[in-house]
Amino acid sequence: MSGHSKWSTIKHKKAANDKVKGSVFTKMAKDITIAVKKGGGVGDPDMNFSLRLAVDKARAVNMPKENIDRAIDKGLGKAGEELSELIIEAFGPDGVMVILEVVSDSRNRTVAEIRTLMEKHGGRMGEQGSVMHMSDKRGIVNNPDPIDEDIQLELIDLGMSDVVVDESGSTIYTMPETMHSVIKYLQSKGKTVGGTIGYRPKVVVVVEDSAKVENFLEIMADYDDVQEVYANLG
């Protein structure tokens, strides 16, 4: 059975704290630009679901409209910077498995800098496939409130595969292709939700020095080109 990573809960708290940092706008802008590119160059959020999610996340942290529009223009090729995506598989302290989603304008620079950061803080890069095979690609929907039983039953019919309730609210897991329906239903019920296609560990691990691992993951998350961090820390 897939696990729910302790890092997921920590990440929600960190995201709330990071709203006061200017760097969050940079990450959101990259999300928007990539969403336009992945959506076939469609810059209308009503016609591009990935872009809609990215724009909603940006608005949730009060990103100015002009910043959002500028990021969309980059995705449409109206600005000079060329961004590309890459996935980095790695191992943190105590062998915790880590997946980084990265967006960069210089892949070689970014990989070199992340490798140095990892080695400095007790981690190392892995080979392609070394971590991915222990994760499932899922829609991950975050809701700040618990989900009552009646809504859960409706969500199961819409494609929810699991829900985890903790101090940060509810984390709903779906197959990637059913996430859209789940989000639309929750929004119709007045829920403020955000979602992403990400990775859920098949197995979580408990380590002796969780603070060291959490510090490593936070350092990775704070690196400008890292958009998302997934780990199997239990």
Per-residue model confidence (pLDDT) at position 1:
42
List the chain domain ranges: 6-75, 84-133+203-231, 135-201
Token reading at 89: 């598989």
Question: Could you say which DSSP state residue 205 is in?
Answer: B
The residue-averaged pLDDT of 105-120 equals 97
Instruction: Quick: pLDDT tens for 169-224.
Output: 899 999 999 999 999 999 999 988 889 999 999 999 999 999 999 999 999 999 99
Whether pTM > 0.85 for this model: the answer is yes
Arch. (CATH architecture) of 6-75: Orthogonal Bundle (1.10)
* Percentage of the chain modeled with pLDDT above 70: 91
Superfamily per CATH, domain 135-201 = YebC, transcriptional regulation domain (3.30.70.980)
Average pLDDT of the chain is 90
Q: What is the pLDDT of residues 36-83, one digit of tens each?
A: 999 999 999 999 989 999 998 899 888 999 999 999 999 998 866 788
* Distant-in-sequence, close-in-space partners of 109: CB < 8 Å, separation ≥ 6: none
Domains 6-75 and 135-201 share a fold: no
How many residues are there in the chain?
234
CATH code, residues 84-133+203-231: 3.30.70.980
Q: What's the confidence (pLDDT) of residue 231?
A: 96
Give the strands of the sheet with 169-174, arranged side by side.
160-166, 169-174, 135-143, 194-201
